[in-house]
Amino acid sequence: MAYATHTSNTQSAFAARVGDALDTIRTRFERRRVYKRTLTELQSLSTRELEDLGLNRSSLNRIAYQAAYEV
């Protein structure tokens, strides 16, 4: 009589990879949304308000990127 001692479940492995890919995509969209929202809010500030915060307009992209991607 033969016994199967090793079985592989390729369908669940595939589902796990698809799930991981979807999580990655979701994370990237969320980070991009945070970046855009932060940049929009910073750009809406007046030059005076930015100066009060110690910022200038040329650094807004970098600040928004750091906020979204935690660099």
40-to-35, 37, 57, 63, 64 alpha-carbon distances in Å: 9, 5, 12, 12, 9
The structural domain count of the chain equals 1
User: Is 56 part of a structural domain of the chain?
Assistant: yes
Q: What is the average pLDDT across 21-42?
A: 96
Q: What is the average pLDDT across 34-56?
A: 97
Q: What is the average pLDDT across 51-70?
A: 95
pLDDT for position 12: 86
User: Is 4 part of a structural domain of the chain?
Assistant: no
Range of the domain at 34: 10-69
User: Is 40 part of a structural domain of the chain?
Assistant: yes
User: Is 34 part of a structural domain of the chain?
Assistant: yes
Q: What is the average pLDDT across 29-39?
A: 97
Nearest Cα neighbor of 38 from 71, 70, 60 is: 60
User: Is 22 part of a structural domain of the chain?
Assistant: yes
Higher pLDDT, 71 or 31: 31
User: Is 61 part of a structural domain of the chain?
Assistant: yes
User: Is 54 part of a structural domain of the chain?
Assistant: yes
Distance CA 55, CA 59 (A): 7
pLDDT for position 71: 66
pLDDT at 60 over 90: yes
